[in-house]
DNA sequence: ACTATAATGTGAAATAATTCACATATATGA
DNA sequence: TCATATATGTGAATTATTTCACATTATAGT
C-alpha cells in the first residue's frame, strides 16, 4: 500500500467516516459510491477512486458494507488508537478548542494545556488544569506528546514553536498568522481563519 | 476581472499582502519574486504566475515596488472597503472569533452577534452586545449583512443556515461539522478543525 | 436459470495547478 | 558605453487531481 495519497483523499475519507457512523446509527447496512457522493455533493467516481487507493473495499453490484468500510477507514486513519496532544496558549481560541469534542471523535486526547499567565496556570479551564509554560519541555517529554496546537499571541509564536521542537513535538497545528521556521523534522499545518473568511468573501457575489 | 483564478492564488495573495505590510513598516522599498517566495517557502515562479493574473505589476531587473504591490493586492481583494459580518452562536468558538483582530485587518467588521441563550442575549460578550436569535431576520436585513460565521451546535446548524439564507445572507463560513444544504445562491465554506488536525497527524511520521 | 439492472474498480482522458525555461527588459559598475 | 548581473512575464512542460467510460461482477425478479 502506497504512502502517497492526495491530501484531499485523506480529508474526504474523514468525511465518509462521519457519514458512515451516522448511517450505522440509523441501522443502514449498505451504501453505494453514488449514495455517499450525493451526501457530500461530489462525483461517485471520486469516492471509488479514493477508496481504491486502499484496496477493493466494495462489492460489485452491491456497494459498500457500511460497518466494514467504517472500520477500514478508521484503520487507515489510525482512529482506534488515541493520540495525546497538547494546546499551548489558553486564551480565547485555545480554551475554545480545549472544549471541542470533535477532536476526541477522531482519536485525539488533549492531555496537556499550557499558558504563561498567573491567572491561568494551576487553574481549571474548561475542565483541564492549565500547566505552566515553563514546564513545557519536561511535561511534553515525560508524556511523549508529539502533536501540539499553537494558539499563543503572534509575537510569541516563533519562540514557542522552537520550544515545542526542542521538547520533541513532531507536528504543530498553527493558528497564529505567523510563518513558523523550524527544521524539516517538524510538520507544520497552518489554519488561517481570516484567510478562510476572505477567500469565501472574494468568491461571493455582491 | 474575477472568478477564473485558482483559489490558492487568492489565498497566497493574502499572504503576500501580510508580508508586504510588514516590509513596509521596516522601510523596505522593493522586493523580488524570489524574495517573497523565500519568505513563504514556495517557488518564485509561483509568485510571478499569481501576480501575472492581475497585470504586469513588477519591473524587469528590479522586482516589485512594495507599496504599489501592496495597494494593488488590497484593491484586488477588496480590502479597503469594510464588509460587515455577523456571528451566530456565541459559545466557546463564536466568542473567541468575535475577539479576533485578524478579521478586521482584512477588511471585515463584526457588526452583529447572535445567540439563543438567556444568559447571553442583551449582555456584552468580548465587547459586543449579543442580539437575540429571534431578531435575526430583521437585524440582518436592516443592516444588509451578507456574510455570516456559523458557530451554533451541530444539531441546530441546518435550521440556522436556512434562517440565514432567508434573511439575505450570501456567504456562510461554517464551523460546524455539518454539510449544510441551501440554494446555490448562498456560498458556503466549511472550516473543519478536527479534519485539519487529523490531516496533519496522518502525514506526520511516528 | 436467465435476464435485466446495479454498482465496483481502474486504465485512459480531461482538467487544474505548478514549475521550468527563456526571451526580454532593467540596473549597475567599470 | 558596454558588459554583466538581475529579475519579470509567460508559453510550454510537468505534475497532480478529477472525471469518464466501460469491462466485470453481483443482485433481484420472474
Ligand atoms: N481568537 C480567535 O478566534 C483567533 C482566530 C484565529 C487565529 N487566532 C490566533 O490565535 C492566537 C491566540 O489568539 P487568542 O485570541 O486566543 O489570544 P489570547 O490573547 O486570548 O490568548 C493567548 C494566550 O496565550 C498565552 N500566552 C502568551 N504567551 C505564551 C507562551 N509563550 N506560552 C504559552 N501561553 C502563552 C496568554 O497568556 C493568553 O492566555 C493568536 O496568534 C491569534 O492571532 C485567534
Ligand atoms: N469549540 C471549538 O473549538 C470548536 C471547534 C471546531 C468546531 N466547533 C463547532 O462549532 C460549533 C460551536 O461550538 P462551541 O464549542 O462554541 O459550542 P457552544 O455550545 O459553546 O456554543 C454554541 C452556542 O450557540 C448557541 N446557540 C444554540 N442554538 C442557537 C441558534 N439556533 N442560534 C444562535 N445561537 C444558538 C448556544 O446558546 C451556545 O451559546 C459546534 O457546531 C462545534 O462542533 C467548535
pLDDT digits (tens, 9 = 90+) for B29-57: 999 999 999 999 999 999 999 999 999 99
pLDDT digits (tens, 9 = 90+) for B88-129: 999 999 999 999 999 999 999 999 999 999 999 999 999 999
Kindly determine whether the C-beta of residue A146 is less than 7 Å away from any atom of nucleic acid strand C.
no
Would you tell me which CATH number, out of the four given (2.30.33.40, 1.10.510.10, 1.10.8.60, 1.10.10.10), belongs to the domain A2-77? Answer: 1.10.10.10
**Å: A62 CA to D30 C1':** 20
pLDDT score of B149: 98
Given CB atoms, is A53 within the 8 Å cutoff of chain B? Answer: no
* Residue keyed to cell 471585515: B108
What confidence tier does A146 reach under pLDDT thresholds 50, 70, 90? Answer: very high
Same CATH topology for A2-77 and A83-196: the answer is no
A17 C-beta neighbours (distance < 10 Å), count: 23
Q: Does the pLDDT value for residue B206 go beyond 80?
A: no
| Cell numbers found for residue B28 | 523596505
Residues 32-91 of A with CB under 7 A from strand D: 42-43, 45-46, 48-49, 59-62
Angle, CA of A67, A70 and A72, to the nearest 5°: 110
Distance CA A125, CA A110 (A): 12
What confidence tier does A197 reach under pLDDT thresholds 50, 70, 90? Answer: very high
Q: Does the pLDDT value for residue A158 go beyond 50?
A: yes
Q: In whole angstroms, what separates CA A176 from the centre of its chain?
A: 16
Angstroms from B18 CA to nearest CA on chain A: 9
Mean pLDDT of A12-41: 96
Tally the residues of chain B: 206
Q: What is the 3-state secondary structure (H, E, C) of chain B?
A: CCCCCCHHHHHHHHHHHHHHHHHHHHCCCEECHHHHHHHHCCCHHHHHHHHHCCCCCCECCCEEEHHHHHHHHHHHHCCCCCEEEEEECCCHHHHHHHCCCHHHHCCEEEEEEEECCCCCCCCEECCEEEEEHHHHHHHHHHCCCCEEEECCCHHHHHHHHHHHHHCCCCEEEECCCCCCCCCCCCEEEECCHHHHHHHHHHCCCC
Q: Which residues contact B15 (CB under 8 A, 6 or more apart)?
A: A195, B40
Q: Does the pLDDT value for residue B2 go beyond 50?
A: no
pLDDT digits (tens, 9 = 90+) for B135-147: 999 999 999 999 9
Mean pLDDT of A90-119: 97
| Assigned architecture for domain A83-196 | 3-Layer(aba) Sandwich (3.40)
Given CB atoms, is A105 within the 8 Å cutoff of chain B? Answer: yes
Mean pLDDT of B9-29: 96
What proportion of chain A, given as a percentage, has pLDDT over 70?
99
Which residues, in sequence order, are bridge partners of residue B169? Answer: none
Interface probe, candidates A200, A203, A205, A206, chain B, greatest B C-beta count within 10 A: A200
Helix (H, G, I), strand (E, B) or coil at A101: coil
Residue pair B9/B48 in contact (Cβ under 8 Å)? The answer is no
pLDDT digits (tens, 9 = 90+) for B158-173: 999 999 999 999 999 9
pLDDT score of B128: 94
What proportion of chain B, given as a percentage, has pLDDT over 70?
99
Among B18, B93, B41, CA closest to A178? B18
Given CB atoms, is B191 within the 8 Å cutoff of chain A? Answer: yes
Distance CA B155, CA B177 (A): 10
pLDDT digits (tens, 9 = 90+) for A180-192: 999 999 999 999 9
Q: Does the pLDDT value for residue A17 go beyond 80?
A: yes
Question: What is the A149 CA–ligand 1 centroid distance (Å)?
Answer: 11
Domain boundaries, chain A: 2-77, 83-196
Distance CA B188, CA A3 (A): 32
pLDDT score of A3: 53
Angle, CA of B174, B180 and B186, to the nearest 5°: 80
What confidence tier does B1 reach under pLDDT thresholds 50, 70, 90? Answer: very low
Average model confidence (pLDDT) across chain A = 96
Amino acid at each position: 500500500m502506497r504512502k502517497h495519497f492526495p491530501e484531499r483523499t485523506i480529508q474526504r475519507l474523514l468525511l465518509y467516516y462521519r457519514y458512515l457512523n451516522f448511517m450505522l446509527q440509523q441501522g443502514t447496512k449498505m451504501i453505494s459510491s453514488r449514495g455517499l457522493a450525493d451526501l457530500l455533493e461530489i462525483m461517485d467516481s471520486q469516492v471509488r477512486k479514493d477508496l481504491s487507493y486502499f484496496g477493493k473495499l466494495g462489492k460489485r453490484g452491491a456497494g459498500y458494507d457500511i460497518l466494514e468500510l467504517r472500520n477500514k477507514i478508521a484503520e487507515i486513519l489510525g482512529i482506534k488508537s488515541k493520540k495525546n496532544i497538547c494546546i499551548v496558549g489558553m486564551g480565547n481560541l485555545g480554551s475554545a478548542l480545549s472544549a471541542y469534542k470533535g477532536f476526541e471523535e477522531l482519536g485525539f486526547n488533549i492531555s496537556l494545556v499550557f499558558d504563561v499567565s498567573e491567572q491561568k496556570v494551576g487553574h481549571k479551564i474548561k475542565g483541564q488544569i492549565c500547566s505552566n509554560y515553563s514546564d513545557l519541555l519536561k511535561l511534553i517529554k515525560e508524556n511523549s506528546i508529539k502533536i501540539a496546537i499553537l494558539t499563543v499571541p503572534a509575537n510569541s509564536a516563533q519562540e514557542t514553536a522552537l520550544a515545542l521542537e526542542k521538547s520533541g513535538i513532531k507536528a504543530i497545528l498553527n493558528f497564529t498568522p505567523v510563518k513558523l521556521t523550524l527544521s524539516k523534522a517538524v510538520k507544520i499545518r497552518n489554519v488561517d481563519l481570516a484567510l478562510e473568511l476572505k477567500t469565501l468573501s472574494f468568491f461571493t457575489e455582491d
